[in-house]
Every structure is written in C-alpha cells, then in structure tokens.
Chains A and B, each alone.
Chain A
C-alpha cells in the first residue's frame, strides 16, 4: 500500500522554464511534508518542507504548495537550471504523536527524475 505517490517517473524541462513536480498521499494523518533531491552516488539532500497548517512555503527558486483537501503537494522550481537535474523525492510524516511508534518516520514517494535541458 503506497501511501505517498509520485505518478510521473520523469519530467523534462527547458532551462529557464518552470518545473512542477507532483505528489499525492493517502494517509490523512500525515502533517509534515518534505522534498528531497538526490544526485547519483549521493544521499538525499533536503530542499524544502511544509507543515499541514500552511498551504505554501517558499525558499528562493523553490516553492512547495499543499492542498490538504486533495491530499496533494507540488514543488515548483523557477527558473529551472541544468544543475537541478536529479531525482526528486517527496516524503511525509505523522508528527502529531510525539514519541509514538510512527513519530519521525518518513514515508517516501517513488521519485521523479527531472532533466533540465540547456
């Protein structure tokens, strides 16, 4: 049972344009959402996060949008750069029960390969 889904395995974008990566989740207990970027032979790098009390969070070229009613989040990268080419994972956690058995457990989507062409 995949609780976090990234339905697009890959995305190709021209340099300077907007990249939009999407993620859907099914567990209504998730209340914290993150995006990670991963280059080959490296670990995931934290990009940006959003808690469920917000619907938007921005950090430089990266903006994450959360639609709780649709259980959907997206990552916008503007403008896209060739160095952004990587695998992007969305992840979610249920942080409502501090110290509980699921606390701090990240559930990842399958990832989307982003390629930004010069």
Chain B
C-alpha cells in the first residue's frame, strides 16, 4: 500500500475545463513533488515544495498551478490544458527538504486525458 494517496486515479477533461489533482501524505514529510510521466518515458520533475513553499518550478507552463495548503496536502490546478498534456501525473514526498540522501516516495498517480 502506497503511503502517498492521489485522487482521482483517472481524469478526462476538455481543453476548456478547470480541474484539480490532489495528493495527500501522512508521513510527516516536509518536501512534496509533482512529476509528469509520458508513456515509455521516465518521470520528469515539475514542482518541488519545501515546508509548504514552492522551491523549484521546472519552467512549467502557467496552465499548471500548484498549491500546498498544508504540510500533508498538495494540489495541482489545471486550466486550459492541451492534448499533449495527457500523461500520468505523479506526486511524491520526502522527509526533510534540507537533508540529503533521502528517498522520495511516490503515489500511484492520476492518469490524465485531455480531449
């Protein structure tokens, strides 16, 4: 059982819709991450939150808007997405953003399809 929970598991949306992906962890981790994974490719980092503050944005288009309301929750707000944004979106967390050598633990992802 994964300790990082992502909802929904699947999402189909039109290009004009607004939706949100949610991620929750109760391990007391203070770093949280969003990754995007296309078919047969490795995960690619999108955003990093350290102690609820955005610390890394990998030049992600503004149609993706992350939010970290508290230390356990991470959201990814979606608006005006393009068909090429269809992918598996993975959330991960790690214990302490200022201590190295710590693994990131992943959720099972949200499979997003843009019509």
Contacts and interface: CB of A to CB of B under 8 A. Distances in A.
B42 A104 contact: no
B90 interface: yes
What is the interface residue range for chain B against chain A? 20 to 34
Interface string A53-85: 000000000000000000000000000000000
A116 interface: no
B45 A96 contact: no
A106 interface: yes
What is the interface residue range for chain A against chain B? 20 to 34
B50 interface: yes
A108 interface: yes
A98 B42 contact: no
A43 B90 contact: yes
Contacts of A36: 106
A108 B98 contact: no
A95 B104 CA distance: 13
Q: Name the residue among B44, B103, B104 with the largest chain A CB count within 10 angstroms.
A: B103
A16 interface: no
Contact of A49 (B31, B42, B43, B103): B103
Interface of A: 31-32, 34, 36, 41-46, 49, 51, 89, 93, 95-96, 98-99, 101, 103-106, 108-111
